């Protein structure tokens, strides 16, 4: 759906994106992870023709009318109601999609007659998402869609994104929330200072950066972290008389992997 080769962009002397290569498959959720200022939004702006790259090529296999975008630059008409806003975006796309159905999907049906200026931040974000999907886009760009939202709203948005993915929508998601990326994404690219430092599936990442350790929990409430080695394990167990409650292999989180790769946190 998206093919990016050699993509670079500079603002003045500052190189914001440096030689990015990635492919996004049709029907997948592609996570673009990185801390603030890493170049995530700039990448979306290039992919949606809001910025022209300094170098490289991009191929987006969807026409403008088949793309939906939700970013922190998205806006709706504050003096009008939720219903009227969504109806307007449906009219703009000549969309046959049912406005009522979409409002129910984003859980805004009960608030359809509220003016946008009276909505909470979470409701506002859900309306923006509804406007972005009202024309059933083939490709959806989401720039930090759940940033600073309450857990219930985040959960609702995640469910909706998975539903859209199951319906065949390709989603390009930027986030610095590792849990979100773990839950939703098929492929993940780590972006740091304008460069992709890793690109893989969640499973590939976890295997590649496995800590090679197990955590043993004993019935006296003590825990022990031991290397995944038979001899080491036996040696450790011989040192205690307590009974084993559980043995779990230790898996790195995406934040651990990012930290390992870049030496900085994903915030």
Q: Which of 65, 98, 223, 260 binds other proteins (CB under 8 A)?
A: 65
Which parts of 187-246 interact with other proteins (CB under 8 A)? none
Sheet of 223-227: strands edge to edge?
Answer: 223-227, 213-218, 244-249
| Neighbour tally for 163: CB within 10 Å | 11
**Min dist. Cβ of residue 123 to other proteins (A):** 17
**Min dist. Cβ of residue 65 to other proteins (A):** 4
258 is an interface residue for other proteins by CB under 8 A: no
Contact 58, 42 (CB under 8 A): no
**Min dist. Cβ of residue 143 to other proteins (A):** 11
Q: Which of 4, 17, 60, 69 binds other proteins (CB under 8 A)?
A: 69
How does DSSP classify residue 233? Answer: H
Query: How many angstroms separate the CA atoms of 108 and 111, rounded?
Result: 5
Q: Which is nearer to other proteins, 47 or 160 (CB)?
A: 47
Largest Cα–Cα separation, the chain: 72
Q: Which of 12, 13, 52, 64 binds other proteins (CB under 8 A)?
A: 64
| Neighbour tally for 247: CB within 10 Å | 13
Q: Which is nearer to other proteins, 54 or 81 (CB)?
A: 81
Per CB under 8 A, the segment of 60-68, 147-155, 186-194, 218-226 that binds other proteins is 60-68
Q: Which is nearer to other proteins, 76 or 205 (CB)?
A: 76
**Min dist. Cβ of residue 231 to other proteins (A):** 60
**Min dist. Cβ of residue 172 to other proteins (A):** 14
Query: How many angstroms separate the CA atoms of 163 and 159, rounded?
Result: 6
By three-state DSSP, how is residue 141 classified?
A: strand
Q: Which is nearer to other proteins, 148 or 221 (CB)?
A: 148
Contact 198, 190 (CB under 8 A): yes
Which positions from 75 to 114 touch other proteins by CB under 8 A, shown as an x/- string? Answer: xxxxxx---x---xx-xxxx--------------------
48 is an interface residue for other proteins by CB under 8 A: yes
Question: In Å, how far from its chain's centre is CA 96?
Answer: 28
Q: Encoding tokens for residue 120?
A: 């909470």
In sequence order, the 6+-apart residues with CB closer than 8 A to the CB of 241 are none
Bridge partners, 190 (sequence order) = 33, 198
How many residues sit close enough to other proteins to count as binding (CB under 8 A)?
A: 23
**Min dist. Cβ of residue 77 to other proteins (A):** 5
Q: Which of 8, 19, 74, 182 binds other proteins (CB under 8 A)?
A: 74
Per-position DSSP letters for 33-86, written without gaps between them: E--TTSSHHHHHHHHTTSS--SEEEEEE-S-GGGEEEE-TT----TTSBHHHHH
Which parts of 130-189 interact with other proteins (CB under 8 A)? 131
Binding site for other proteins (CB under 8 A): 48, 50, 63-65, 67, 69, 73-80, 84, 88-89, 91-94, 131
């Amino acid at each position: 759906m998206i093919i990016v080769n050699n993509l670079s962009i500079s603002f003045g002397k500052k190189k914001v994106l440096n030689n990015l290569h990635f492919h996004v498959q049709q029907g997948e959720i592609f996570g673009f992870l990185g801390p603030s200022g890493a170049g995530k939004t700039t990448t979306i702006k290039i992919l949606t023709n809001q910025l022209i790259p300094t170098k490289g090529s991009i191929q987006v296999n969807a026409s403008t009318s088949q793309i939906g975008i939700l970013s922190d630059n998205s806006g709706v008409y504050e003096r009008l109601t939720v219903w009227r806003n969504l109806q307007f975006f449906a009219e703009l796309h000549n969309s046959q999609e049912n406005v009522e159905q979409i409002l129910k999907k984003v859980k805004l049906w009960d608030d359809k007659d509220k003016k946008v200026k009276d909505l909470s931040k979470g409701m506002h974000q859900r309306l923006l998402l509804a406007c972005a999907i009202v024309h059933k886009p083939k490709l959806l760009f989401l720039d930090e869609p759940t940033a600073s939202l309450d857990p219930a709203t985040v959960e609702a948005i995640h469910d909706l994104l998975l539903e859209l993915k199951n319906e065949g929508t390709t989603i390009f998601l930027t986030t610095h929330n590792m849990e979100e990326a773990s839950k939703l994404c098929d492929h993940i690219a780590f972006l740091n200072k304008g460069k992709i430092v890793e690109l893989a599936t969640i499973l590939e990442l976890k295997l590649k950066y496995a800590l090679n350790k197990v955590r043993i929990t004993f019935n006296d409430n003590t825990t022990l972290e031991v290397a995944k080695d038979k001899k080491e394990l036996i040696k450790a167990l011989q040192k205690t008389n307590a009974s084993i409650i559980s043995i779990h292999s230790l898996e790195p989180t995406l934040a651990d992997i990012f930290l390992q790769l870049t030496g900085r946190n994903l915030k």
